[in-house]
Structure 1
Amino acid sequence: QERFTDVRTVGIDETSVRRGQNYITVVHDLDAKRLLFATEGREHKTVLDFVDDLKAHGGDSAKVEHVCMDMSAAYAKGVGLALPQAQISYDRFHVVAMAMDAMDQVRRTEMAQDAPAVREALESAVDNDEHKALKQLMWGMRRNPESWSAKQTDAMHWLQRSVLKSARAWRLKMALRAVYARAKVHNSVQQASVELQAWLSWAFRCRLEPFKKLARSLKERFAAVVRGMLGHRSNAYVEAMNGLLQQAKRAARGFRTSDNFITIAYLRMSKLKHLPASPFAPVGVT
């Protein structure tokens, strides 16, 4: 009974049903902030199934203008087949998460290959326990500066004065976050393109393979990455709803089938307008 006639911008993502390779694909209306569709799996066919369901609910696939998603090749293939007129916007959350992962790879590799040099430098700069200092450094690199503790602030100030590869990796990650933050304010395709291109040039010259790999991925998808910076397009809402779904899964101690998980997803997040009142619900609750 639901009508999807006004769907223009959708967000596609996956969430796990159980440990291992058990996933469902969820598609949200990012304008109306509601779940439209959920199905088992995460291959390109899930996007085709969504379009069939969209049409069955009165929607028009030709009117879907934007699809916000991660860099899944399967989802990109599905959008190309079922929504060829829609523009893909790669979600800022996933791009920054990829930069965070690249930074962690550099830090772990440096600790494994140059551990004595790192520890020697750290001992000369930090008075407290070496192991604790390394832990503060790890969390400080992952957090935003405004959320640093006093000990993390000390560790990060030392890192920024050092010549370690980890310091370069952290600066690259923070610079990409800054590009996204400025794009959210100016909302200009031209300015976002110039700033992203400058970051890519730096990443290609940085001699850090994880960031060079990330730069190659972003360059191949440049236009879609820029679109993900603009118009407040983000899968943040989708990620938040996935978090609520995972909370429901833990509260239920897991769901025996994917169908049960999908049912809970619809009940909690689709903002259904045509559910009959339950005789067991409290007064005012349907």
Structure 2
Amino acid sequence: MTNFLYLPGWEVTDVQDRASEYRATAAYTPEPDVCPKCGTLGELYRHGVKVTDYRDAPVHGKQVLIEVRRRRYRCRACGGTFLQGLPDMDDTHRMTARCAEYVRQQSLLKPFTHVANDLGINEKTVRLIAREHIAAMNAAHRPYAPRVLGIDELTLLGKRRGIFVDIEGKRPLDLLEDHSRPVVTQWLHRLPHRHRVQVVSIDMWRPYRDAAADVLPQAVVVIDKFHVIRMANDAMETVRKSLQRSMQDKSRRASKRNRYLLLRRPPKLRPDQAFALDGWLKNAPDLADAYEAKENFFGIYDATTREDAEAAYAMWLETLTPGLKVAFKPLITSMTNWRKEIFAYFDHRVTNAYTEAVNGIVKIANRTGRGYSFDVIRARLLFGTRKPVDLLSQCPVCSRLHDPGDHIMPEGMLFILDGMDEDPPAPNLMVICSECNRFHTDRWFRSDHVSTPKSE
């Protein structure tokens, strides 16, 4: 019979193709010649068979169960008995070694229950394998010092967490259980070759600035510009909300519903939206002044040099009326307290946009399942993938999530919509993951093959 398992040294005697499962009966043919208990050579003889079920990685989108007829041996010299060794099996979890590797990879990308359903095993087994895998990867994880370091925080599992990223390399470096100054300072102290860091991008959180000054004195701290311009939007919103309180219900609802017109930059407005905004501002002069002040502040970031930006800010500050200075007071105060770091942007042009994107990835990873611990979420960020789940490809055969670059066009078994024999155009090809390629080649159906690329 064709080697269904495609593993070296295995003889498959029966394969049953069921609705949602393949059930194979197999035996491992190599026999031992040395007693593992006494070390005697050539004194072994067969002493019965033990039947054990092992799970394998999915094939054709179906679960795979292998009924292994495992031989038992007795030693004539010492009288000891032992079971035949199975190098391709993980006896601890009663599955093949490649199935255990499948669990390790997919548990960092998919909910544990989904992985368990793909294999037909208990969710607890997936959780235990994932926990062992995460512990091993954490022990080997060594963050590196990037040229541009991004530091931010996010709320996860009801607590504020610190996050570090390589902004230029677009890679997450670490996720900390806390974002306090002692924790951040300790992490920076342990960072290998931290002298390589030249720029640190942060929001206006003083512990980050103090920690960077203590541990990375050579680095320039830059305040993320989006946190600054957001304060200008908030100031304008303060004016809008104060005017909204004196409106009738219908007008108040319209003001709240159309506030996005005020927040959107003029070049991004459609003609009808620009017309509606113009009519709104003509009927609300105080709001029009706040809107103009907000847009003028945004224009500061169009400056090409730091000197031009500082001059533009000074001019903007002089044009504010006393009423607008009250509304924009939080922004003005921040510009005073963080002036050096805010205007450092015009020397280095660094933002924390990628850091904020990583924050979103972490939140997506948390939402894909329930009851995840901090360690699991951290591992999914650091070791699972650099891409959000919605940017991964899903194999149409085994449902495995994988990087779009990790795929193989099936050899000799091109899936053709119209029954054509020649190579079809690209839209008619089924793109499968590299793991499934072994089950979709002409070679796999030939009995002279005894191993898979992975086994080799």
Return the TM-score normalized by structure 1: 0.77
Report the more deviating stretch, 77-86 or 129-138: 129-138
- The one of 171, 175, 189 aligned to 2:296: 175
Instruction: Please state how far the C-alpha of 1:177 moved relative to its aligned partner.
Output: 1.7
Which of 151, 175, 197 is matched with 1:64 structurally? 197
Q: Residue type of the partner of 1:257?
A: S
Contact 2:290 2:324 in 1 (8 A): no
CA displacement 1:79-118 (0-9 Å, x = unmatched): 2222233221100111111211222122112222x336xx
Alpha-carbon separation, structure 2, partners of 1:203 and 1:50: 43
Residues 106, 208 of structure 1: 8 Å contact kept: no
Whether the aligned pair in 2 keeps the contact of 1:37 and 1:53 (CA below 8 Å) is: no
Residue 149 (structure 2) pairs with residue 16 (structure 1): no
Name the residue aligned to 2:342. 225
Query: Does the 8 Å CA contact 1:92/1:229 hold for their aligned counterparts?
Result: no
For 2:256 and 2:217, how far apart are their aligned partners in 1?
47
1:169–1:83: structure 2 CA closer, same or farther, 3 Å change rule? same
Query: Are residues 1:158 and 2:279 paired?
Result: yes
Change (3 A) 1:107 1:131: closer
Residue pair 1:204, 1:215 contacting (<8 A) in 2 also: no
Q: How does 1:132-211 map to 2 (within 5 A)?
A: 133-148=254-269, 152-180=273-301, 182-183=302-303, 186=304, 188-203=305-320, 205-211=322-328
What root-mean-square deviation, in Å, do the aligned CA atoms of Structure 1 and Structure 2 show? 2.9
CA deviations on 1:210-262 (whole Å, 9 max, x unpaired) are: 30231121122112111124432000111112112222222224x53222221
How far off its partner does 1:203 sit? Answer: 4.3
State the distance in 2 between where 1:197 and 1:48 align.
Answer: 35
Q: 1:141 to 1:231 in 2, by over 3 A?
A: same
Q: Distance in 1 between matches of 2:278 and 2:267?
A: 13
Structure 1: distance between partners of 2:243 and 2:252 = 16
Q: Which position in structure 2 is the counterpart of 1:84?
A: 217
Aligned mates of 1:79, 1:284 — CA distance in 2? 45
In our comparison, the structure showing a higher alpha carbon Rg is 2
Unaligned residue ranges in structure 2 (runs of 5+) = 1-139, 388-399, 403-432, 437-453
Is the partner of 2:179 in helix, strand or coil?
A: coil
1:202, distance to aligned residue in structure 2 (A):
3.3
Q: Distance in 2 between matches of 1:246 and 1:202?
A: 41
Greater helix content: 1
TM-score (normalizing by structure 2): 0.50
Matched position secondary structure for 2:226: helix
How many aligned positions are there? 255
Answer whether contact 1:241 1:269 (CA < 8 A) is retained: no
**Aligned residue identity for 1:7:** P
Higher strand share: 2
Gaps of 5+ in 1: 120-128, 272-279
- 1:35–1:269 contact (8 Å) kept in structure 2: no
Question: Is 2:244–2:252's contact at 8 Å kept on the other side of the alignment?
Answer: no
For the 8 Å contact 2:151–2:163, the answer to whether it is kept is yes
CA distance, structure 1, for counterparts of residue 323 and residue 252 of structure 2: 28
Per the alignment, residue 175 of structure 2 pairs with 38
Distance 2:435 2:321 in 1: 59
Q: 1:25–1:211: structure 2 CA closer, same or farther, 3 Å change rule?
A: same
Give the structure, 1 or 2, with the largest relative contact order (CA under 8 Å, sep 6 or more).
Answer: 1
Amino acid at match of 1:115: M
Q: Percent identity of the aligned residues?
A: 25
- Amino acid paired to 1:216: T
Deviation at 1:132, TM superposition (A): 5.9
Measured in 2, the distance between the counterparts of 1:108 and 1:142 equals 14
Mapped to 2, the partners of 1:166 and 1:263 lie a distance apart of: 47
Higher mean C-alpha displacement, 241-250 vs 161-170: 161-170
For 1:251, the equivalent position in structure 2 comes to 368
